[in-house]
Structure 1
Amino acid sequence: MSHPAEHVAADASPIEPAIIDAERYFNRELSWLAFNRRVMEEAANTAHPLLERLRFLSISGNNLDEFFMVRVAGLKGQQMQAIEARAPDGMTVTQQLVAVTAEADALMVQQQAQWRSMRRELAEAGIEVIGSDRVDAESEAWLEQHFREQIFPIVTPQALDPSHPFPFIPNKGLSLIFDLVRLSDKEPIRELLMVPATLQRFVRFPGDAARYIAMEHVLRRFAGLLFPGFEMQGVGAFRIIRDSDLEIEEEAEDLVRHFRSAIKRRRRGRVIRLEIETAVPPEVEALVKNELGGNDALITEQASFLGLGDLDMLVDEDRPDLKFTPYSPRFPERIREHGGDCFAAIRAKDIVVHHPYEAFDVVLAFLRQAAADPDVVAIKQTLYRAGKQSAVINALIAAAEAGKSVTAVVEIKARFDEEQNLLWASALERAGVQVVYGFIDWKTHAKVSMVVRREGGSYRTYCHFGTGNYHPITARIYTDLSFFTADPRAGRDAAQLFNYITGYVEPASLELITMSPIGMRQKLCALIDGEIEFAEAGKPATIWAKMNSLVDPAIIEKLYAASEAGVRIELIVRGMCCLRPGVPGMSSNIRVKSVVGRFLEHSRIWAFGKGRVLPNDDARLFISSADWMSRNFDRRVEYMMPIENPTVHDQVLDQVMVANLIDNEQSWELRSDGHYERVVAEPGTKSFNLHRYFMTNPSLSGRGAALQGSDAVPKLRLRR
């Protein structure tokens, strides 16, 4: 969501589950589409400001593009190879493609209806989006001059005839086809005009009034200037989505060289989806399909706007009255109390930072201080996504240039960030950073940083464990946890994790963390079994878990067993959920909800009651980089970390988890039939918005002396 809504997840290959049963599992792809429908429906949520609603619509459009580029492309690839392995819900690849196409088409119809409605609302609010509408003479004159000076020199019409082969159309490329007649001899001619990526999708008219016109309408409007001496008979637009997944060859001798080549091949991936205006004549549609090699592509016809993701340009309009009130995250007081010294604050006590309510700057400060501190001798860092302008990268470069030993594990298989990560890797290597790319067939998804500092004749290791990426931009809109500790056990475990990635040295023993692909699924199953034992002994048994996706069949089956043993299970699953809750005799004690709101819920938190009702001080509590998916357990390097410090334990369990569970303004509950129903406050109860709560009530993390004798942090209560 990208919320930028997070990139669409894809497994490398289908896995045959031990149980195949449509009554036990929801289909993964349809579950993801249901999530994107929830995102899209926020565009109709009048509790949000108008331009923020438009942002949700844009995000849902981008999400759907990525879904086809990766997930549907993967299914098409399996179909072309005649792979008909069944998904856990029992559907074959072909059946999934049929169902996904129908659901995606229905979603796109709703998106277009929402855009038409919002276009009227925008006009009423003073933001006009002009189509073929007439404009006043002054505006028409300005637009023509703008076309002549800023657009005409850039666009390149191409005749479509035997001497002009059909050109390559890039992924997400928007193009127009003009049917013309030459006036001199009445000869028909067909012209293709690709809209260059360098041209913005909308042109804004000058002046205070916000008036926009889409680029395709500008090109239609001035077709006479593009094609003098021709009469236009018809014009239509189309847009394509290409397969953008990268295949990893295990025998690749040079992973970096392989990815540089694969990125170039991705740009020319096969056409997966063709979006075409209903105005395009059937013979033109047939031509486009044939020339693009897209006869097997999924086709959708639309009478409205192609490429809804491009609406984000309108969101940038300077109308603060139509956007969320700006929010400035705070910096943890605990670190301020130590004069800004991150190491002194962490040494005194573990700290958890709750993004985006608390600034990502604390993570940057941690790394910058490490780079500048003469007592720091080594820094090790994993990098999955770091953004285009990353202060994290700059801090690592500064540390290397200061003579410190710096190791960066750069994951070049981070989807859609591969090219950027290769650029960062080159910059780091030039500065003297030891860059490691990890495993060929596994991704390094763990978010870990460790700093080794010389103190009193020995060394102390400071660690940062994050549930989100080291990405300063997404840290403003993703809800994540940053956990800082100087616990020697965590330092030893982190060192072993890095040695595993860089040198394939499997940890002999781990004291705190659990890793995948070494035993994380087994650890979770053991924890669930522990709650089953409490239930069978007649004690309270409870599991709370927050994650982005729940797909793994083995974990789902274990949760079903726990439910029927009497364990009460509360799951907060933002996106895909293949578990079917609330089914008598199978999952009667499981409740699943999804939170979709101003921020993208991204943190992974798991709690086990340990024989007492949650929340309680003795509960076993973990944060993690992993979702409960087969890929996270089997094909990624991940961590799960127990939270033992009482203050941090309270913050994460009694505040973050309880707030997610009691939210009734931006939550959806998953029903046993697969339908998501928006949660509303029950009569006599107050509305509660968890995002607003954390924006207006500083959490417990890093409060230091500010909490002493203060009632500033309201206590949350969970209604039983």
Structure 2
Amino acid sequence: YRVRVATLNRLSNLNTKSKEILGYNPRKTLNQIKNIVVKQERKFNHLYENIIKELEQQKIFIINEKQLNVSRGAFAREYFREKVLSKLVPIMINKDEPFPELKDRAIYFFVRLVHHKNKEKYRYALIEIPIEGSNRFLVLPETNNLKFITLIDDIVRYCLDDIFFIFNYDEIEAYSIQLTRDAELNLDKNVSDKFIDALTKSLQKRGKGKPMRLMYDTEMPLDMLTYLVAELDLSADGLIPGNRYHNFKDFINFPNVGGASLEYSSMQRLPVKGLSSMKSIFSQVALRDYLVNLPYQSFDYIIHFLREAAIDPKVKEISITLYRLAENSRIIHALINAAKNGKKVNCLVELKARFDEQANIYWTNRLEEEGVRVNYGIMDYKVHSKICLVKRLEKGRYFYYANLA
């Protein structure tokens, strides 16, 4: 939705002749995409409900704010006041002012405060749910060997009174939404020093791209949804009904309160037959080639190859292409070490690596500061291959050792 669908959305605004040149109708394709996504969302929700039932068979219950009893409610409220409340910044919506900018892919509650004596005058608000950098789940006190877990989302729902207590209302309701924005970058194809500046400025605008998709809780009243759609200037193609929770990737950190039997056993990385990390990689590769299957076999072989090249007096030059890099990249450390040891290090960093552009700009600057020769990429191409070539002087002749991936 952030790139492919965003591009289709742009193409849908072309005139009829342009669509004939394309050979298809982008608007029709967008409708087909929405139908598929809605079906997938329903299937996903069905699978999630099945998992919930299986957890209940293991005496593990995921409960929402309406299922908290007095003691668990008090526990949740204390946690909310100590850990969550200070992170919340409610935005009161004033119809006479522009609608607030929603962050790309952040989870919000769209809140409505209702006064029974004057139902025509609602108060609306937005609350961003603080998920990044914190655990989304809270393990509640167990009872009779029954284990209970709730989400931060539902704790916020349970404690809405603690947030809006200064307002006069009889009823309060909150529904989760998540907006996806157009993240495609408009850039000059020429790769140069100015390209980095242009890329940096374009990245700053990415968070304010055109709204592409709104995922919303299907329990949300129609008038609230209609109001949102109008304020966000969304088309019907961009509306995706969902359940009360979004960002299910956070469930990878779901707490295991039921024991090791509920988890897949971790797979041990297999060794590469005949390739020892306790011997020189170059002496072994000089005799034969080796195939390393990642992630089933260890990436450490590649790191060992680079580290050895960085300190080997016979190595004169290292050339490498980089696409995505870890936050604390061992590859970068090895390349910097090689440059400090007097090796000629050439590095092509693909600045156009989707959604890693900012990180790659950082690594580009870091490498250049340490004396590495950096190439920013190739015009009209995106270099996705992972290639490393090491030039080594052996008995007066140059030999080349390569890693291809």
TM-score greater than 0.5 by the shorter chain: yes
Deviations 1:461-520 (A, max 9, x none): 111111xxxxxxxxxxxxxxxxxxxxxxxxxxxxxxxxxxxxxxxxxxxxxxxxxxxxxx
Q: Tell me, in whole angstroms, the C-alpha distance in 1 between the residues paired with 2:265 and 2:50.
A: 24
Tell whether 2:151 aligns with 1:151. Answer: no
1:622 aligns with: none
Give the direction of change, closer, same or farther, for the CA distance of 1:154–1:342 in structure 2 (3 Å limit): same
Offset of residue 165 of structure 1: 3.4
Give the direction of change, closer, same or farther, for the CA distance of 1:104–1:283 in structure 2 (3 Å limit): same
- Specify the code of the residue in structure 2 equivalent to 1:158: I
Tell whether 2:30 aligns with 1:97. Answer: yes
5 Å-filtered alignment, 1:276-355, equals 276-295=216-235, 298-314=238-254, 319-336=259-276, 339-355=278-294
Q: Tell me, in whole angstroms, the C-alpha distance in 1 between the residues paired with 2:354 and 2:307.
A: 28
CA contact (8 A) 2:217 2:242 kept: yes
CA contact (8 A) 1:202 1:212 kept: no
Q: Tell me, in whole angstroms, the C-alpha distance in 1 between the residues paired with 2:14 and 2:215.
A: 25
Deviations 1:673-709 (A, max 9, x none): xxxxxxxxxxxxxxxxxxxxxxxxxxxxxxxxxxxxx
Offset of residue 130 of structure 1: 1.3
Q: Tell me, in whole angstroms, the C-alpha distance in 2 between the residues paired with 1:356 and 1:185.
A: 61
Tell whether 2:292 aligns with 1:358. Answer: no
Q: How many corresponding residue pairs?
A: 396
CA contact (8 A) 2:275 2:290 kept: no
- Specify the code of the residue in structure 2 equivalent to 1:429: E
1:617 aligns with: none
5 Å-filtered alignment, 1:8-23, equals none
Offset of residue 188 of structure 1: 3.5
Tell whether 2:125 aligns with 1:191. Answer: yes
Give the direction of change, closer, same or farther, for the CA distance of 1:319–1:169 in structure 2 (3 Å limit): farther
1:399 aligns with: 338
Q: Tell me, in whole angstroms, the C-alpha distance in 2 between the residues paired with 1:201 and 1:184.
A: 40
Instruction: Say what the alpha-carbon RMSD is for the aligned residues.
Output: 2.6
CA contact (8 A) 1:451 1:462 kept: yes
Give the direction of change, closer, same or farther, for the CA distance of 1:460–1:315 in structure 2 (3 Å limit): farther
Tell whether 2:382 aligns with 1:443. Answer: yes
My pick for the range that moved more, 215-224 or 321-330, is 321-330
CA contact (8 A) 1:70 1:244 kept: yes
- Specify the code of the residue in structure 2 equivalent to 1:342: I
TM-score w.r.t. length of structure 1: 0.52
CA contact (8 A) 2:138 2:150 kept: yes
CA contact (8 A) 2:30 2:237 kept: no
1:76 aligns with: 9
Q: 1:203 aligns with which of 125, 129, 137?
A: 137
CA contact (8 A) 1:147 1:218 kept: yes
1:215 aligns with: 152
- Specify the code of the residue in structure 2 equivalent to 1:324: Y
CA contact (8 A) 1:271 1:297 kept: no
Q: Tell me, in whole angstroms, the C-alpha distance in 2 between the residues paired with 1:148 and 1:300.
A: 33
My pick for the range that moved more, 405-414 or 208-217, is 208-217
2:41 aligns with: 108
Tell whether 2:179 aligns with 1:244. Answer: no
- Specify the code of the residue in structure 1 equivalent to 2:127: L
- Specify the code of the residue in structure 2 equivalent to 1:170: K
CA contact (8 A) 1:407 1:435 kept: yes
Give the direction of change, closer, same or farther, for the CA distance of 1:251–1:449 in structure 2 (3 Å limit): closer
CA contact (8 A) 2:137 2:255 kept: no
2:195 aligns with: 255
Offset of residue 126 of structure 1: 4.3
Give the direction of change, closer, same or farther, for the CA distance of 1:85–1:374 in structure 2 (3 Å limit): farther
Q: 1:412 aligns with which of 343, 351, 365?
A: 351
Give the direction of change, closer, same or farther, for the CA distance of 1:207–1:403 in structure 2 (3 Å limit): farther
Deviations 1:67-86 (A, max 9, x none): x1122111111112344257
Identical counterparts, % of pairs:
24
Offset of residue 252 of structure 1: 7.1
1:264 aligns with: 204
2:394 aligns with: 455
TM-score w.r.t. length of structure 2: 0.89
Q: Tell me, in whole angstroms, the C-alpha distance in 2 between the residues paired with 1:440 and 1:392.
A: 25
Offset of residue 206 of structure 1: 5.2
Give the direction of change, closer, same or farther, for the CA distance of 1:126–1:390 in structure 2 (3 Å limit): farther
5 Å-filtered alignment, 1:500-539, equals none
Give the SS at the match of 2:65: coil
Give the SS at the match of 2:254: helix
- Specify the code of the residue in structure 2 equivalent to 1:203: F
5 Å-filtered alignment, 1:120-199, equals 120-162=53-95, 164-181=97-114, 188-198=122-132
Give the direction of change, closer, same or farther, for the CA distance of 1:249–1:317 in structure 2 (3 Å limit): farther
Tell whether 2:56 aligns with 1:117. Answer: no
Q: Which has the higher contact order (CA 8 A, sep 6+)?
A: 2
CA contact (8 A) 2:323 2:353 kept: yes
Give the direction of change, closer, same or farther, for the CA distance of 1:143–1:315 in structure 2 (3 Å limit): closer
CA contact (8 A) 1:412 1:437 kept: yes
Offset of residue 279 of structure 1: 2.4
Deviations 1:217-267 (A, max 9, x none): 112111111111432243322111111222332357611112111211111
CA contact (8 A) 2:84 2:130 kept: no
Give the SS at the match of 1:374: coil
- Specify the code of the residue in structure 2 equivalent to 1:204: L
Give the direction of change, closer, same or farther, for the CA distance of 1:231–1:164 in structure 2 (3 Å limit): farther
1:577 aligns with: none
Give the direction of change, closer, same or farther, for the CA distance of 1:317–1:413 in structure 2 (3 Å limit): farther
